[in-house]
Amino acid sequence: MAMAAHLAELAEKHRLLDQRIEEAIASPGTDDAEIRRLKQEKLKLKDEMERLSKVTRH
């Protein structure tokens, strides 16, 4: 159960990062480096969620 809660928390963080990225892209004053950083953070969360999902399936 704790793993499912952790995955849900990661999924929520991933969703929020996606929202922040969309807002940053829409904002003309946002630095490209900031958008890249947010995308990298989002990718790390996705990778972690996939890794944990594989662990829970075995």
User: From the centroid of its chain, how far is CA 23?
Assistant: 15
Domain boundaries, the chain: 2-57
The structure's pTM equals 0.84
The owner of tokens 């809660």 is: 5
Listed in sequence order, the residues at least 6 apart from 52 whose beta carbon sits closer than 8 Å to its beta carbon are: 3, 6, 7, 10
Alpha-helical runs (H) found in the chain = 2-26, 32-57
Q: What is the pLDDT of residues 4-28, one digit of tens each?
A: 899 999 999 999 999 999 999 999 8
Distance CA 54, CA 58 (A): 7
Q: What is the pLDDT of residues 27-41, one digit of tens each?
A: 989 999 999 999 999
- Helix or strand or coil: residue 1? coil
